[in-house]
Chain A
């Protein structure tokens, strides 16, 4: 960047379904995939627009929102913790299951550890007390046990099925 006479302050990202979104270098730094673009010799900050064929404008702006909010609220004071918790809840509220999974894909593609960890934890919290059937549906897993085999596991670990919603 030192080579350019007037260094541009932002990085241009082009989602698959919308206009270019400008992000600060600090936000771009947290996206490992973008970081490798920037470190490439052919990258010129003023003109290069990084195409993101696997990320929608909605997903990109969600991820940027999350990073923006959390980079500004690193303090540990109780009132900050409280409002962070509220932000996280609101953030997830807008996401139904499919949208949540798609956002996970996008975060994975961009390789943003902070968002990835947050979303993985959110899915874990969602399925923690759910039934086997719910989890199979959520992850699109086709059961490959025979009826007897599955019965056997359910019997030996009957305690693990207590207090959980029914199939």
Chain B
């Protein structure tokens, strides 16, 4: 099919130096999003091309492994991009989000706070909390927005359908995409604290711009008295929530597969002690569980090995062990195929890069105290409107 399509297109060539369209597409998919946004006005067919799922996915594929990290801060709307060569740049958000000033503090009395819920394929999902009801009488104080910093596009997500629920409930929030189609989705799992209602789950699909109720099998998740981060970790099309309970030997990870829209449960690797310092990410194109502190942390202090466990057939296998960094306090990300870690030094205020080979440390000059999350970022031309 592709072959025939390619040949047919060649007839548009006018001379020996005109390039066949498949070559032109190959070249354009290597450009930055800024260049593509400008070249929309080269001619109509280019503008159409940049919107096709094939082109969007090819572009994403080419740019995916560029080792770019995005720091998202909690108290101010500040977004910093870290490149492979350690250069740091800030994303200018003033045009799109005039409610935040140049330092990223909100100057709008209506806004209470915001929370970055996740990143997938170049798009961030942000929850904005207001001081007042968004629509009077509806009882809703928060709103979800999707933001593609590369195209500067923002979209407000319609509110999810609410069923009657008791006052106390647990929410698991996941943002991701079907690994085959790259269609962006949001999943919410609501578990009632008093068990007066069965757990239910709703799924938002950007393509249809609507929420649907999804049927779930009874889940053996005990959310009461447990600690977990509401937003999960995304790796290879699956969202993971690491759950721990201080007094029970509870070792579960709740998983949501964006491919078949189903939840399932996994066990944590045996050396993990809880959600606080662990995270799940992608390393060398595999799903990886990073254990920083083990059971003996409280006895040995900070010098603990860093372990990377890889997911194979629903089981974690220990693949890499790195010697301890004496001063490493918290670990946030891995990059450069596991050669370097981004973390925080004990009692320091900035993020640093730890190189496991040379045991060297480099200050990144990004304040850690006000940083919420660190995402592996990829620039994408994906549009948020259909």
Partner-binding segment picked from A13-21, A66-74, A75-83, A132-140: A132-140
A102 to chain B minimum Cβ distance, whole angstroms, is 6
Q: 1/0 contact trace for B37-49 toward A, CB 8 Å?
A: 1111111111100
A26 within 8 A of B: no
* A127 and B44 form a contact (CB under 8 A): no
A161-B30 contact, Cβ under 8 Å, with A101-B19, A140-B18, A144-B43: no
Asked if A116 meets B40 with Cβ closer than 8 Å, knowing A98-B17, A105-B19, A140-B14, the reply is no
B345 → A minimal CB distance (Å)? 28
Partner of B27, one of A120, A136, A144, A160: A120
Asked if B17 contacts A120 (CB within 8 A), the reply is no
Is A143 interfacial (CB 8 A cutoff)?
yes
Contacting residues, chain B, for A116 (C-beta < 8 A): 26
Q: Is the CB of B30 within 8 A of A132?
A: no
Could you say which of B23, B34, B43, B95 contacts A141, with CB atoms under 8 Å apart? B43
The answer to whether B20 touches A143, judged by C-beta atoms less than 8 angstroms apart, is no
* Residue of B20, B32, B41 touching A108 (CB-CB under 8 A): B20
Whether A128 contacts B17 by the Cβ 8 Å rule is no
Stretch binding the partner chain, chosen from A1-9, A29-37, A149-157: A149-157
Residues of B within 8 A of A123 (CB): 27
Inside 8 A of A141's CB, which chain B residues have their CB?
42-43, 46
Q: Which residue of B lies closest to A121 (CB)?
A: B30
Chain A residue with the shortest CB-CB distance to B20: A108
CA of A125 to CA of B236, assembled, Å: 30
Is A114 located at the chain interface by the 8 A CB criterion? no
Interface residue? B137 (CB, 8 A): no
A160 to chain B, nearest CB (A): 4
Docked CA distance A159–B42 (Å): 16
Q: Which residues on the B side are within 8 Å of A132 (C-beta)?
A: 38-39, 41-42
Q: Which residue of B lies closest to A126 (CB)?
A: B27
Q: In whole Å, how far is B309's beta carbon from the nearest beta carbon of chain A?
A: 27
Most chain B CB neighbours (cut-off 10 Å) among A97, A121, A124, A154: A124
Which residues does chain A contribute within 8 Å of B35, judged by CB atoms?
Answer: 127-129, 160
Assess the A140–B15 pair: CB atoms within 8 A.
Answer: yes
Provide the A95-114 mask, 1 if CB < 8 A to any CB of B, else 0: 00110011011001000000
Inter-chain contact B152/A159, CB cutoff 8 Å? yes
Q: How far is the CA of A131 from the CA of B28 in the complex (A)?
A: 14
A102 touches B37 (CB 8 A): no
Q: Contacts of A128 on B, CB cut-off 8 Å?
A: 31-32, 35
A161 touches B42 (CB 8 A): no
Nearest-CB distance from B382 to chain A (Å)? 16
Contact B17 A145 (CB under 8 A): no
Q: Which residue of chain B has the shortest Cβ distance to A140 in the bound complex?
A: B18
* B26: A residues at CB distance < 8 A: 116, 120
A21 to B19, CA, bound (A): 26
Complex: A120 Cα to B43 Cα, angstroms: 20
Does B167 count as interface, using CB distance less than 8 angstroms? Answer: no
Across the interface, do B15 and A160 meet the contact criterion of CB distance under 8 Å? no
Contact pattern, B 75-99, Cβ under 8 Å of A = 1, otherwise 0:
0000000000000000000010000
Bound state CA distance, A127 and B32, in angstroms?
Answer: 11
Q: For B27, what are the chain A residues with a Cβ–Cβ distance below 8 Å? A: 120, 123-124, 127
B363 to chain A, nearest CB (A): 24
Which of B17, B28, B34, B44 contacts A140, CB < 8 Å?
A: B17
> CA separation between A159 and B40, bound complex, in Å?
13
Q: Which 10 A-B pairs have the closest CB atoms?
A: A124-B30, A160-B37, A160-B38, A153-B41, A120-B26, A140-B18, A101-B17, A157-B37, A123-B27, A120-B27
Q: A120-B27, A132-B38, A136-B42 are in contact. List 15 more A-B contacts (CB 8 A).
A: A102-B17, A104-B19, A105-B20, A123-B27, A127-B27, A132-B39, A136-B43, A140-B15, A141-B43, A144-B45, A153-B40, A153-B47, A157-B37, A157-B40, A159-B34
28 A-B pairs within 8 Å (CB atoms) are namely A97-B17, A101-B17, A101-B18, A102-B17, A116-B26, A120-B30, A121-B30, A124-B28, A132-B38, A135-B42, A136-B42, A136-B43, A139-B19, A139-B24, A140-B17, A141-B42, A141-B46, A142-B43, A143-B43, A144-B45, A145-B41, A145-B43, A153-B41, A159-B37, A159-B152, A160-B34, A160-B35, A160-B37
